[in-house]
Structure 1
Amino acid sequence: MLTLTKRAYLGESDLDAIAHLINCCDAVDQLEQGTTVGELQTEFSTPSIDTQRDLQLWENEDGELIGFGYLWITEPSDSIDGFLSFYIHPNHRQINLESAILAWGEQRMGEVKQKHQIPTRFGLSARDSQRERIQMIENHGFKVTRYFFTMERNLTETIPQPQLPTGYSIRQMNRETDIPAWVEMFNQSFVDHWNHHDLTVENMIHFINEPSYKPDLNLIAIASDNTFVSTCECQIFPEDNKRTGRKEGWIGVLGTIRSHRKMGLGTAMLLSGLHKLKSVGMNTARLGVDADNPSGALRLYESVGFDKVYTKIVYIKSV
């Protein structure tokens, strides 16, 4: 009988084993979720992560890492959510370790609820093609809450020229001076979206200091009164492209504050972002979108040539 030991994250000495486990899983699951030690270092250094409590490892008698769980917990507001990612070595998926990892995640979110005394939810996701994972999640009492599409557009095809409404201009973000105004714009743009939790200046500072961040890919639309009203923040992940052999960029953020919607800003910013990705050598653009996005984002993306690649199902349960 396999004996497993559960323990907390000990620091950077664990990163090699975690990266190896994730990459072993990706080699079998083919979900393009591979990683490197450097990428994990960046992710785990996010200010909102408590690495001692939000990461958990399961090892066998030989000290080999068999399972890993990672909770991303939102900033407290009127509620708080924790979303679980977990990995189990392909050679050990018959031992029901999933139940132990889910129990740990739910217990951790119970601690969070006790601390903050606000409504708390525990969630995780699966692609629609992962039938066994979906069955396991539903067997543990989670309910389907949302569907997200990952969409893709070929950048070698013609991209229409953006038509910016009169009175607006576009420039790239200045990381020295623009962070507070950009964060305010972001929060105003997404306040009416599902599961919005305000972005903090602290987390934004961490994000723009990540190795993959490129300030020239973060575009801002500015109104005549110098207010930040819309953004298209594009992202390129060199390590992902190295693993897949693709030249792929992402539309990471596309948003417009409510008082400046229905003017064509979203379309203009999206097209500007696509041109920017193409200009730096990308031949494919991807993005993720809530299938029930209240601002009509799905229709916008389809109108400029994006097609669905796969669907991610989000499951939630109350703690």
Structure 2
Amino acid sequence: MIPDENRFESDPDAALGTVSGLPKGWTVGTPDPADRFDVARLTHLLRAHERHGRGWAGAGVDDVLVEVSEHGLRMRENVVIRDEDGDVHAWGSVHDRSVGRMLFVHVVQRDLPDDVADRCSDLLLAWAQAQARTVGAARGLETQQIDTGAFQGDERQARWLAGAGFERVRTWWQMSRPVTPEEEGLVETPDHWEQRDVVFRLVRRTGDGMPDVDDLREVHEVLEGAFVDHFNSSEETFEEFLFRLREDPGHRWDHWWLAELVDGDALRPVGALIGTVSESANGPDGSYVSYLGVLEAARGRGVAKGLLRTIIADAAARGRDRVGLEVDADSPTGAARLYTSMGWATKYVTESWHRDVVIG
């Protein structure tokens, strides 16, 4: 279940204790989501971080509000470092993602003097470790994983993480595929089509336009089963799963598909794809594959390829020009070969860095 109150320590002073080593007048605090200047500054920091790491910025105000809004704070906590004028120069965010797994966002202004940037980073990392102990204790764990990331080639971020005891554990290819209008005809209709005894369809909608809860549970169960043997998989309740997915600014209920195997007179869910919208300020929007999972017993029957063809056709029907996704560079399923064969190419590379914090 989603907790009524988050499991983190909301007071940075309680988490960090006495803070020293910052320039005169600089302070540690929390961002104010109601302050448009705070939100604008966080957005600027995040976009500059992205631009340095991969060459362009994609984050917007909605992405920041996912982290700092009252709604987001049910599962998150944030800390910022301000100068004497109140401007934010560093930002950390933690997310109680699932049992034993805490996500950590770590952003420091790119053009700070090295000694100031290093001190800001030290404080963010110390705060994250304190939060890991707090959330791990609240969940009754012996160790709590901190899961953070970096753009490949960001030597400053890698140096900070390695120095704080994090290990680089995985590489991820961020891939994109162009979509043409003609590809609307890849499938009969993205809403419902069939191939080789597999039915591909959108999750059903009820009379009030909301998705059918049973279908949503099927999507969750398929993905939990499909990823149980994947890297860093961790248990997530149905309630946590829905809460998190609905926070995504690109979330749309009409981007959730199920694949069902015809089994006599019955249909058995064996695959699922959750898509989102990738909005663009300067051109057509794109679609994004947030999750694609196929149960092991159904692999090799064209289920994954069919779901990918479905989202491509859907994107074409909506006038979008691309479909993006992320793939584990070391995936044992051969997913990268499938994506490459269907036209996806790597645009940039990210890394996962982990540290296990002992509770107590």
Q: Structure 2-normalised TM-score?
A: 0.77
Inter-partner Cα distance in structure 2 for 1:156 and 1:306: 13
Q: Determine which of 297, 304, 316 is the counterpart of 1:266.
A: 304
> RMSD of the alignment, in Å?
2.6
Which residue in 2 is equivalent to 1:110?
Answer: 133
Which residue in 1 is equivalent to 2:196?
Answer: 166
Match of 2:103, SS?
A: strand
1:149-208, CA deviations, whole angstroms, 9 ceiling, x for partnerless residues? 001111129759469543221110121332222211121111111111234322343334
Q: Is the 8 A contact 1:165 1:263 kept in 2?
A: no
Question: CA 1:176 to 1:65, structure 2 compared with 1: closer, same or farther past 3 Å?
Answer: same
Which residue in 2 is equivalent to 1:186?
Answer: 223
Q: Determine which of 147, 153, 158 is the counterpart of 1:129.
A: 153
1:101 aligns with 2:101: no
Instruction: For structure 2, list consecutive stretches of 5 or more residues without a partner in the other structure.
Output: 1-22, 188-192, 205-210
1:104-153, CA deviations, whole angstroms, 9 ceiling, x for partnerless residues? 11111122233322332223211113122222222222211000100111
Which residue in 2 is equivalent to 1:219?
Answer: 257
Which residue in 1 is equivalent to 2:290?
Answer: 252
Match of 1:215, SS?
A: strand
Question: CA 1:129 to 1:91, structure 2 compared with 1: closer, same or farther past 3 Å?
Answer: closer
**Quick check: which has more Rg, 1 or 2?**
2
Map residues 55-94 of structure 1 onto 2, 5 A cutoff: 55-76=78-99, 80-92=100-112, 94=114
Q: CA deviation at 1:57?
A: 1.7
1:25-76, CA deviations, whole angstroms, 9 ceiling, x for partnerless residues? 524634424221x44334556678444xx21122222222222100123222
Inter-partner Cα distance in structure 2 for 1:49 and 1:122: 18
1:292-312, CA deviations, whole angstroms, 9 ceiling, x for partnerless residues? 122221111111111111111
Q: CA deviation at 1:262?
A: 1.5
Inter-partner Cα distance in structure 2 for 1:48 and 1:198: 21
1:228 aligns with 2:269: yes
Inter-partner Cα distance in structure 1 for 2:334 and 2:131: 36
Match of 1:214, SS?
A: strand
1:281 aligns with 2:319: yes
Inter-partner Cα distance in structure 2 for 1:2 and 1:105: 24
1:13 aligns with 2:34: yes
Q: Is the 8 A contact 2:256 2:272 kept in 1?
A: yes
Inter-partner Cα distance in structure 1 for 2:269 and 2:294: 9
Q: Determine which of 202, 207, 212 is the counterpart of 1:176.
A: 212
Q: Determine which of 325, 329, 343 is the counterpart of 1:305.
A: 343
Inter-partner Cα distance in structure 1 for 2:221 and 2:311: 21
Amino acid at match of 1:114: A
Inter-partner Cα distance in structure 2 for 1:158 and 1:132: 44
Question: CA 1:271 to 1:122, structure 2 compared with 1: closer, same or farther past 3 Å?
Answer: same
Q: Structure 1-normalised TM-score?
A: 0.86
1:23 aligns with 2:44: yes
Inter-partner Cα distance in structure 2 for 1:18 and 1:114: 31
Inter-partner Cα distance in structure 2 for 1:157 and 1:278: 5
Q: Is the 8 A contact 1:233 1:273 kept in 2?
A: no
Identity across the alignment (%): 18
Instruction: For structure 1, list consecutive stretches of 5 or more residues without a partner in the other structure.
Output: none
The number of aligned residues is 309
Amino acid at match of 2:277: I
Q: Is the 8 A contact 1:155 1:282 kept in 2?
A: yes
Q: Is the 8 A contact 1:150 1:286 kept in 2?
A: yes
1:248-271, CA deviations, whole angstroms, 9 ceiling, x for partnerless residues? 221111111122111111111111
Amino acid at match of 1:197: S
Inter-partner Cα distance in structure 2 for 1:286 and 1:305: 11
Amino acid at match of 1:231: A
Inter-partner Cα distance in structure 1 for 2:38 and 2:303: 45
Which residue in 2 is equivalent to 1:35?
Answer: 60
Q: Is the 8 A contact 2:45 2:108 kept in 1?
A: no
